Amino acid sequence: MKNILLKDDSALYYECGYSCDNGVYLRLGSESWFFTDGRYAIEAKEALKDTELVVTSDLYSSVAKYLKKYKVKECVYDPKEWDCESFHRIDSEVKISWKLEPSWSHRQRIIKSSKEIEYLKLASKAGARAFDDISKAFSKKGFGKDERELHFLAERILRKDGKRELSFEPIVAIGANSAKPHAIATKRKLKSGDLLLLDAGVKYNRYCSDRTRTARVVDGFDFSTIQGFSSKKIQKVYDTVLKAHDRAIDKARCGMRASEIDALARDVIEKAGYGDYFVHSTGHGVGLDIHEMPYISSRSSTIIEDGMVFTIEPGIYLPNAFGIRIEDSVVMLGNRAEVL
């Protein structure tokens, strides 16, 4: 078993069942320690699993002392987790061989357990119910409100008045603003017949959901994938994105490279003449983090296996006009993709 030093919030939680904004996890062989300060001592002691708590006012010096105490010669760390100053504080006090393994924790978490899959399903179902509630709220009192007000209303519904955590800040984009994949809310106001893109997710036991829908907003609208737009151009683009989304989910199989799943969606969009306007990858892994392995991109050689959870989210974005994205999270089970 490798010696490992971790600092990332999700990585800490995955290894020992607890994390905070001032913690370090150290595993040496079969023994492990969680270092934090007195502010978190009670919570940490209650939550930690198979890990000893070390309460200290000098986090990094304490970690260095343990490395020296156990005469550690080699230790793995993920450079993506550490800022230069924090790592230097430890490195300056010890003489060991550091082994860089970028995305170490993401690699450990790429295959989800049955319990993790259940959490992800529950998160996705809660997110889908929130989409239904948002469409009802927007239909009832959204017209005339700008994206900032709609964003606030959507966030309140997603959070369920404080009972849920968000996976990320929701994206609410009307009309031309939807042509920006990560649109920031503006003063643009919602009116009947507008195109509206909503990208949002919630957490269940820290596990994330992620979903995007694009809809034509009229009285009583919903966020189903069946949408009818008055513009033939918008409808053509929408139907193209939906076809790409459905094809990638229907034909994804274990044993494929992630790049092959990306191609399933991308080929549909390219053949329709919109290849230059699909500006991101087809998907990404979802778990404790909203973006983790596997990445469903044209550059990814990851072999898809049962237990992997990732998004399928093709999109077409026509500058200064509109954007369409349709996204679902899926889990590979029994060699096929199942929508969560």
Where exactly are the structural domains of the chain? 4-108, 114-339
The per-residue pLDDT for range 237-287, each reduced to its tens digit, is: 999 999 999 999 999 999 999 999 999 999 999 999 999 999 999 999 999
CA distances to 119, 142, 330, 337 from 262, rounded to whole Å, are 26, 35, 14, 14
**Contact call for residues 179 and 320 (beta carbons, < 8 A):** yes
Task: Tell me the Cα Rg of the chain.
Answer: 23
In sequence order, what DSSP letters do the residues of 247-281 get, joined into one string? HHHHH-BTTSBHHHHHHHHHHHHHHTT-GGG--S-
Q: How many CA atoms lie within 13 A of 62 on its CB side?
A: 16
Cis peptide before 294 (omega within 30 of 0): yes
The pLDDT value given to residue 1: 79
CATH class of 4-108: alpha beta
Is the pLDDT at 161 greater than 90? The verdict is no
Instruction: Say if 4-108 and 114-339 have the same CATH topology.
Output: no
Read off the pLDDT of each residue in 17-44 and give the average, rounded to a whole number: 97
Read off the pLDDT of each residue in 304-313 and give the average, rounded to a whole number: 98
pLDDT band (50, 70, 90) for residue 229: very high
**Contact call for residues 287 and 205 (beta carbons, < 8 A):** no
pLDDT band (50, 70, 90) for residue 132: very high
**Contact call for residues 296 and 258 (beta carbons, < 8 A):** yes
Domain 114-339 has CATH 3.40.50.720: no
Report the chain's mean pLDDT, rounded to a whole number: 97
Read off the pLDDT of each residue in 215-236 and give the average, rounded to a whole number: 97
Read off the pLDDT of each residue in 132-153 and give the average, rounded to a whole number: 97
- Sequence-distant (6+) residues with CB within 8 A of 285 are 106, 110, 291, 292, 293, 294, 295, 308, 309, 310
**pTM as predicted:** 0.95
- Give the pairing of strands 315-318 and 4-6: unpaired
